[in-house]
Amino acid sequence: MRIATWNVNSIKARLPTVLEVLDAINCDVVCLQEIKCETNAFPYMELEERGWNCEVLGQKSYNGVALLSKHEIEDVTKGLPTIEDEQARYIEALILADRPIRVGGLYLPNGNPAPGQKYDYKMEWMDALEQHARALLKQDEAFVLCGDYNCIPTPEDCWDETVWQDDALALPQTRAEFRKLKYLGLADAFELTDNRAHQYTFWDYQGGAFKKDHGIRIDHLLCSPQACDRLQSVEIYRKARELEKPSDHVPVIGTFED
C-alpha cells in the first residue's frame, strides 16, 4: 500500500498538474492540503473518474484538506476533535484495504509572524494534535498522520539554518512540539527509511529556490508502531516540482506492506 501526503496549493488552479502527478505516483491513499476551495467546489468528478473515493473538508480561498482513496472509506472525521477550529485543517478515515489502516491528513498552521497570535494558534493546534494522537495510540491500530506540518525538524532539514532560525517553522518551541509527537510513540517515516540530510519537500517560488535546491523538509508521515511494522520505504517525488504550474510542495510517499 502506498500512502502519500501533498500540499497542492490550490487544487482548482493546478488541476491538470495534480491529475498528472496522481497518475504518476500510483498511490492507494493521498492526503491533500491547501486545496483552497469550498467542499462543494472540489473537483469530485475528475477524481472519481480515475477511481478515487473522496472525502473533503474545504474552506473558501484558504486551507482545506482532502483524503483520496482507491479503497472504501469508513469512520470519517472532519476537523481535529480536540480543538474548536473554524479553519479546515484536518481529516481522518479508516481505509478498508485488505489490511485496514487509519489515515489522518493535516495542514498545521504556519505560525508566522512569531511571536504573536498566529504563533499562539500554531502551538495550540500542535498541542491538540498531540492529544488526538495520544487517543489514537490507545486504540492499538495501524495509523499514519500525513501532512504539511509546517515544521523543519532539524537544521539538516533546511538548506541554510541561519535563514530559517527565526521563522516559526524552525523555532525551538516548534521543534520541541514536533518531538513530543514522536515521544508518544510515533515515528517519522522518512527518518526510519532514509534519513539523509538536506532532502526537501518544499521550495519557494521566489529567487530560483528549486534550481538552487534551497528547500526545506516540512511534509511528514508520522506512523504508529503498528504502521511502522509495515513500513518499507519513503520517496520524495521531486519530479512534481519540475512540471508546468507546480505546487511549491511535492508529494511524500510511504510504501507499506499490504
Q: Mean pLDDT, to the nearest integer, of 195-212? A: 97
Cell of residue 210, nine digits: 528549486
State the pLDDT confidence band at 223, using cuts at 50, 70 and 90. Answer: very high
220 among known catalytic residues: no
Entry pTM: 0.98
Q: What is the mean pLDDT of the chain?
A: 98
Phi and psi of 16, rounded to 5°? -60, -40
Residue 67 near residue 89, CB atoms below 8 Å: no
Catalytic entry in 107, 119, 149, 200: 107
What is the model's pLDDT at position 82? 98
What is the model's pLDDT at position 23? 98
pLDDT 10s digits, 224-257: 999 999 999 999 999 999 999 999 999 999 999 9
What is the model's pLDDT at position 1? 97
What is the model's pLDDT at position 2? 98
Q: Is 73 exposed, middle or buried (0-12, 13-18, 19+ CB in 10 A)?
A: middle
pLDDT 10s digits, 59-103: 999 999 999 999 999 999 999 999 999 999 999 999 999 999 999
Catalytic entry in 28, 148, 188, 219: 148
CB atoms within 10 A of CB 228: 18
Phi and psi of 159, rounded to 5°? -75, -25
What is the model's pLDDT at position 191? 98
What is the model's pLDDT at position 205? 97
**2-256, CATH topology level:** Deoxyribonuclease I; Chain A (3.60.10)
What is the model's pLDDT at position 103? 98
Q: Is 40 exposed, middle or buried (0-12, 13-18, 19+ CB in 10 A)?
A: exposed
Feature table: binding site for Mg(2+): 7, 34, 148, 150, 248-249
C-alpha to C-alpha distance for 250 and 237, rounded to whole angstroms: 6
Beta bridge partners of 55: 67
Residue 105 near residue 147, CB atoms below 8 Å: yes
